[in-house]
Structure formats: C-alpha cells, structure tokens
Amino acid sequence: MSNEELDKEMKELLKQAIAPAQDSELRRDLWPQMLRKLADQPSPVNTVPWFDWVLASLAGAAVLFFPGIIPALFYHL
Amino acid sequence: MKLLERFATGDLEAFEALFRQHQKEVYAWIVRIVRDTGIAEDLTVETFWRIHKHRSQFRPDGNFLAWARRIGTNAALDHLRHARPESELPDNLPCASTGDPALGSERRRQIKEAFHQLPAKYRLVATLALIEEEPYANIAQAVGISESLVKVRLFRAVRMLRKKLNSLRPEVTTK
C-alpha cells in the first residue's frame, strides 16, 4: 500500500473514531461573564511594553552618565 | 462614528454590541477545536477580553469576525498546549455513529489516545481539517498561516498519528 493510501486510510480511521462536534450552539448569553472578567482584570488603556521602558531607562542612564552623547542622540533623532 | 470605530476608541457600548453580535460564531468556532462546551464558553470570554485589550490594534476597516476568530484560535491553541493530558481526553468525546462497525472500541480508544498525543498545533489543524472538514483557506486565515503550511501540518499530523498507531498495533497499518 502506498503512503498516500495509508494517509487516506488514517484520515478515514480518524473520522470514524472522533465525530465532528455536534453541539456547537451557544445556549446562554456570555455578556455577564464578560463584564465580570472586565471588572476583575481591566485592560489598561495605554499599555507601554516592558522593553520600551527598558530602552527609555537605558537612554536616560546613558544621557546621565555620558552627557557627551546628547548631540549624537539629537543627530540620530 | 461607526460601530467598529467606536469600539477601537474604547467605547464599551460598541464593544457590547460587537460581543452580542459575534459571541455565537466565536463560540461555535472554539468549541469545534476544544470539544468541550464549558471550556469553549470560558475561552470565548477570554477571546473577547483579549480583543478588548488589543482594541487599539484593530483597524476599523478590517473584518472583525476574522480578527476575533484568529484571536479565538490562539486562545484555544494556548488551552490545548497547557491542558493536562487527563483533561485532554474527555470521556464524552463523541464517536462517529456512522463509522465502520468493524472498528472496535479498543481501536477507537487507541486512535483517540494517539490523536491527543499530537503536538497542539498539529492537533488543531487535524481537528479542523479532518474531523470538522473545514476548508483549508478558513483554517489558514484563523491560524494565521498559509494554506500550504496548513497542508504541511496536516501531512505531518497524519504521519505522526500513523507512526503512533503502528507502534501500538503494527499489524494493522504496516506497509
């Protein structure tokens, strides 16, 4: 038996062993649950990624300890 | 201002309208992946929470349902990756009633077991393509990969499954 035939056979076996989801209809409104989650874990309005803070800290430290780089910084901005 | 624009600016009423409009579709998609109604409900809420969290990244001229489905797929995939093995194989997992009667219950159990041992990303694609018979294009869009990659994952999933089953009962599918 070729590999393709074996693959086809495997697909058929899988279909026979596991049926498609028969009950995929939502039976209740999930909005109250959604409101609870929003209240428990409010999503921040403007999240600044942590690596942006790291970059800003590094830039700040560099300016503080090496003020000579300020012109170069302005040049690149 | 249109509903999607209002949503993107953080209007809760617009978000509620979108939630009520699309919760059924998102749930129906997720339950076909995780195959557990309770988990699918939780993941639907998780999906919309992620949507709300990342609302500023949504383009109001884009397709909200496609975006929601993609986020839902990622949430379901996270669940498949982190679910404990014993909870991945529910006892009430349906069996096809129209299947070959010669395929015994022991063989079905072996197939299910082998299937649930597949890596999550392969199981996701195999579930949608082989069991739910979803078109490749829909799967590709929801997973965020190309149709070719869907086919590759499916091919690998079937090969892995065959290998696992061969190791369990070599006389059935050996060459």
pLDDT in tens, chain B (175 residues): 688 889 988 899 999 999 999 999 999 999 999 999 999 999 999 999 999 999 988 888 889 999 999 999 999 999 999 886 544 445 445 555 444 555 677 888 888 888 989 999 999 999 999 899 899 999 999 999 999 999 999 999 998 998 888 887 654 444 4
Q: Do A24 and B97 touch (CB under 8 A)?
A: no
Confidence of residue A10 (pLDDT cuts 50, 70, 90): confident
Which of B22, B26, B35, B133 is the mutation pick for testing A, counting most A CBs within 10 A? Answer: B35
Q: Which residues of B touch A45 (CB under 8 A)?
A: 10
Q: What is the ipTM of this complex?
A: 0.77
Residues of B in contact with A28 (CB under 8 A): 41
- In chain B, which residues have their Cβ closer than 8 Å to the Cβ of A4? none
> CA-CA distance, A37 to B45, in Å (whole number)?
8
Cα of first residue to Cα of last residue in chain A, in angstroms, is 66
C-alpha closest to that of A17 among B124, B159, B94, B127: B94
Helices B64-82 and B136-143 meet at what angle, rounded to 10? Answer: 80
What's the pTM? 0.76
**B8: part of which helix (H) or strand (E)?**
helix B3-8
Task: Answer whether A17 sits within 8 Å of B19, measured CB to CB.
Answer: no
| Tens digits of residue pLDDT in A14-54 | 888 888 887 889 999 999 999 999 998 766 555 677 888 89
Length, in residues, of chain B: 175
Output B10-15 pairs: Cβ under 8 A, ≥24 positions apart.
B10/A45, B10/B55, B15/B48, B15/B52, B15/B55
What is residue A61's three-state secondary structure? helix
